[in-house]
Amino acid sequence: MAKAEFDTENVIDQEEVLRPKMVTVEIAGKTHQVPDGITLMKALWYTGHEVIRGAGCLGGFCGACAAYYRTKHDPKVKTCLACSTAVEDGMSFSLVPPFPARKATYNLSELKDPKQDLFELYPEAPLCRNCNACTEACPQNIDVREGVWRAVFGDFKAVSEMFMDCVMCGLCVPVCIADIAPNLVAVYASRAQGVHYTEKPKGLFKRIEEIQDGQYQEDWDRILRMSDEELQTASANIK
């Protein structure tokens, strides 16, 4: 039958796809053998580690799995998300414990001048010393240093765009020599951008009024009385 024929024919069989081999990695200082190319997270499970703190979405979105790693012969320690990074031979890595950063609290809608208020909420923000460590630490390749400066200069729009990819892993925080938590500054600036400096969506407000004014009541009365067959036809026919 055709199927059997396809079975061999439709297989991607080159070496790098197969990845059958084992590699040596060092996890928190101990050496282990794990299959090449699996994620750091899977390597932890594979080697018998129970992961509670340090795993969240498993898809590269929540930032729970911040990790430090170093590859063979390279002195540079890099950062990554353990659920979204592959192991390679000679790699050493450890999960990063949570860092006790201070988050300011605020009521955004009551702030009068959020761009100025930034300096009260996060007085350390303007003390950035341009070391660029935060940018280098960011696994999402955000120009964090630039973002901090933009926030300080009141360009909240740019901050909100630059930090849309921020997964709040917090890796930019412990490295900061000025004790800034850039990701928290960014959340503040982005939210302020939304609350204070973004156009009000008029179409949305109009729709809310239309609903409150009962504009759809007739349609509802008609639809909610329909039998299943009538509903089927009605839903099949909407354009």
Contact positions toward ligand SF4, by CB under 6 A? 63, 128-134, 137-138, 140, 142, 144-145, 148, 166-172, 175-178, 180, 182-183
Residue number with CB closer to ligand SF4 (114 or 147): 147
Work out how close the CB of 129 gets to another protein at its nearest, in angstroms, rounded to a whole number. 26
CB atoms within 10 A of CB 125: 21
Closest distance between another protein and the C-beta of residue 239, in Å?
Answer: 6
Site for ligand FES (CB under 6 A): which residue of 57, 86, 104, 158?
A: 57
Pairing mode, strands 22-27 and 66-70: unpaired
Among residues 23, 44, 64, 111, the one that binds ligand FES under rule CB under 6 A:
64
> Judged by CB, which is closer to another protein: 78, or 130?
78
**Using rule CB under 6 A, residue 149 touches ligand FES:** no
Query: Does the footprint of ligand FES cover residue 142 (CB under 6 A)?
Result: no
Q: Which C-beta is closer to another protein: that of 76 or that of 110?
A: 110
What are the DSSP calls for 147-214, one per residue?
HHHHHHTT-HHHHHHHGGG-----TTSTT-TT---HHHHHHHHHHHHHHHSS---HHHHHHHHHHHTT
